[in-house]
Structure 1
């Protein structure tokens, strides 16, 4: 049985409570013990983090102190897993480069409206095994990403009439990485609950949480 900590808050548009409740139920049904925190001060509790096997963060935008980011990063380096989706993990704490070095990427831009885009698997990895190519109709994130990430799935950025100079670069959608002894799982999909209900997305996130767990 793993100890899982859901840290949720920030911008309410990403439905942090409903989204984390969805995966809390999945993890609980798998036999894990899940707790939640609605404050980033939990990252200052070194003893609690050391006893945590997986942190699932769903905290969009907002700000974190240097001490909070340091507490989280130190826990991950010591073996605590970190996982999340969409803005809850890669559109958080924009003024904390140390946090971006932990997650391996940062949201930069998306189209004004939802777009329909294919996501294609590009690696042999247990998180994406058998998923092939699937389609999402939602926000498509343009991200700056760490070249050290192990990219599992990508998309070609759809033409944006407001920023035509962006073109159609291949953009990472899902990646994993190591941070010291800890594992990190990120996917940029997940703006709304309907995104999480796409079968391939749900499977990918469920597997990603399991992979990242200590």
Structure 2
């Protein structure tokens, strides 16, 4: 294990259906092995601690639904704008704090719907040469399939297809993994990760781990 030179803050809570403690726990040893000193918070009030955030290199959030106060939202956004990285997956970042437009601009996407239950779909990689997807190939998953509103300014690294159905007259190519910047900070988002065994898929695990490192200051 390398010497801890960076600091990661894991913020977890909200709806328990996304197993915030269990799934963030999958990545704590990885972060520590990569040299991060890790702090865990089960309160969004941590986003109002300017000094703590200024000394944090990476925020990993897994907080589904819930409400964020204007002060908490401004604190998080300001920290990322100043250079703190922000990363997360699935509803822990994409179905958080519905209606907070500043937060949605930070993440670059917001959950709208998913087909009932778990479905099989293929994730197609589009980020040729990007460190997060380098050496990986398209892969299949069996999990929730997120349909989202997304910011076209993000760099999309992976997509999936929603086939035409019902009120949708044609196939839709939907971003599933992307990166973006927010001021001086880097942001990594993956739509995959409803359940712990989603990360048993080697490509899902690799993309998530690489995404955390990429986002860090």
Which interval holds the TM-score relative to the shorter structure?
A: over 0.9
What do the CA deviations read for 1:95-118 (whole angstroms, capped 9, x no partner)? Answer: 101100000000000011211000
- In structure 2, which of residues 52, 59, 69 is the aligned counterpart of residue 55 of structure 1? 59
* TM-score normalized by the length of structure 2: 0.95
SS at structure 1 position matched to 2:214: helix
Q: Does residue 33 of the first structure (1) align with residue 37 of the second (2)?
A: yes
Tell me if structure 2 keeps the 8 A contact 1:117–1:158. no
Question: Using a 3 Å threshold, how does the CA distance of structure 1 residues 166 and 30 change in structure 2: closer, same or farther?
Answer: farther
Structure-2 separation of matches of 1:126 and 1:151: 13
Provide structure 2 residue ranges, at least 5 long, that are not aligned to the other structure.
Answer: none
Structure-2 separation of matches of 1:95 and 1:13: 21
Question: Using a 3 Å threshold, how does the CA distance of structure 1 residues 117 and 10 change in structure 2: closer, same or farther?
Answer: same
Any residues of structure 2 matched to 1:1-214 within 5 Å, and which?
A: 1-124=5-128, 125-158=130-163, 163-165=166-168, 167-214=170-217
Once the two structures are overlaid, the 10-residue window that deviates more, 143-152 or 21-30, is 21-30
Provide structure 1 residue ranges, at least 5 long, that are not aligned to the other structure.
Answer: none
- Report the CA distance between 1:158 and its aligned residue: 4.1
* TM-score normalized by the length of structure 1: 0.96
Which runs of structure 1 show a deviation greater than 3 angstroms over 4 or more consecutive aligned residues?
none
What do the CA deviations read for 1:32-86 (whole angstroms, capped 9, x no partner)? Answer: 1111000000000000000000000000011101111110000000000000000
Structure-2 separation of matches of 1:130 and 1:173: 18
SS at structure 1 position matched to 2:26: helix
